[in-house]
Structure 1
Amino acid sequence: MIRYALSCAQDHSFESWFQNADAFDALLRAGQLSCPICGDAKVSKGLMAPAVSPSRRAEAAKARAEAPSEAAPLAAQSELEKALAEMRRHIETNSEYVGGNFVSEARAMHEGETPGRSIYGEAKPEEARKLLDDGIAVTPLPFLPRRKTN
């Protein structure tokens, strides 16, 4: 596997993994690569440096110097990351995290057993499909709950 730093004609930067260099070239020739931010199909490889592991001592010193506090959010780098960060903030501020009880809570609200409210939590894919089949609107979120992240 190889990871390439890519950019589009609109100067959006992103990364993607490919089986090898030939796989990247074949997808590019077939027009199957596009920018995840704007959809532009004019994609090119950016400058890359090989991944070289630092010495253990240097790695430990860097980790100590860069250790962010858990309360400090990571800085968003692109428009897409900023939008995702805003979506997360909005959901966490305006919804109740119900964890693994998501399916039963969503079903109870749909059936009128509990008052309706905005919730988010966790469900197995087959459980989410069953909710959709039963007419209960759910959607996957593009992030894990903070309790589940490192």
Structure 2
Amino acid sequence: MIQYTLKCAQDHRFDSWFQSADAFDKLKSAGMVSCAVCGDPHVEKAIMAPRVRPARNAAAAPASQAEQPAAPSLSAPANEMEKAVSDLKKQIEANSDYVGKDFAKEARAMHTGETPERSIYGEAKLDEAKALIDEGISVAPLPFRPGRKSN
């Protein structure tokens, strides 16, 4: 496998993996390589620095923890949008009851007055959500999946 940095005529740059250098050439000549950003089929290899590993015995002693930059956490939000969704999820989980797969049943029971109204969230199939909306019950899809609840 080989990774190339590619760029299109619009100067969008992106990386892509190919089985070999010949595979890239064959795919490009067949018109099967296009820009990942805009779809432009005029893609060329961009200048890139090769990735060369040092020999095993040439590896330097690890730097102290104070000198090493903090590695980004995979669970931390990567940008403002992810942070906003993460904050929304925390707020909903803190101020609402998770009802799981009984969401449609619970929402309907609150709407008819069988149970007291409260903020709930959970899971519903598309046809169940459409039925709730048709009945005049306000529901909204959330931009995240509920975390697993364990006892």
TM-score, length-scaled by structure 2:
0.53
Task: Output the CA distance in 2 between the equivalents of 1:87 and 1:56.
Answer: 39
TM-aligned CA deviation for residue 50 of structure 1:
2.7
Which structure 2 residues correspond to residues 40-119 of structure 1 after superposition, within 5 A? 40-54=40-54, 55-57=58-60, 60-61=62-63, 65-68=67-70, 85-96=79-90, 105=100, 107-112=101-106, 115-117=119-121
Give per-residue Cα distances to partners, 1:88-123, cap 9 Å, x unaligned. Answer: 12211222497xxxxx73x33343368444x8xxxx
- Alpha-carbon distance change, 25 to 10 in structure 1, aligned in 2, over 3 angstroms: same
Equivalent residues of 1:33, 1:43 under 8 A apart:
yes
- Alpha-carbon distance change, 14 to 70 in structure 1, aligned in 2, over 3 angstroms: closer
Corresponding residue of 1:79: none
TM-aligned CA deviation for residue 134 of structure 1:
6.6
Aligned length: 116
Residue 37 of structure 1 pairs with residue 34 of structure 2: no
TM-aligned CA deviation for residue 4 of structure 1:
0.6
Task: Output the CA distance in 2 between the equivalents of 1:62 and 1:48.
Answer: 30
Overall identity of the aligned pairs, in %: 35
TM-aligned CA deviation for residue 62 of structure 1:
9.8
> CA RMSD for the aligned pairs?
4.2
Equivalent residues of 1:109, 1:115 under 8 A apart:
no
Task: Output the CA distance in 1 between the equivalents of 2:4 and 2:64.
Answer: 24
Tell me, which stretches of 5 or more residues in structure 2 are unaligned?
Answer: 94-98, 108-117, 131-140
Secondary structure class of the residue paired with 1:87: helix
Secondary structure class of the residue paired with 1:47: coil
Equivalent residues of 1:131, 1:138 under 8 A apart:
no
Tell me, which stretches of 5 or more residues in structure 1 are unaligned?
Answer: 75-83, 99-103, 120-127, 146-150
Task: Output the CA distance in 2 between the equivalents of 1:62 and 1:3.
Answer: 32
- After superposing the two structures, state which structure 1 stretch, 29-38 or 8-17, moved more: 29-38
Greater helix proportion: 1
Corresponding residue of 1:21: 21
TM-aligned CA deviation for residue 45 of structure 1:
0.6
Corresponding residue of 1:8: 8
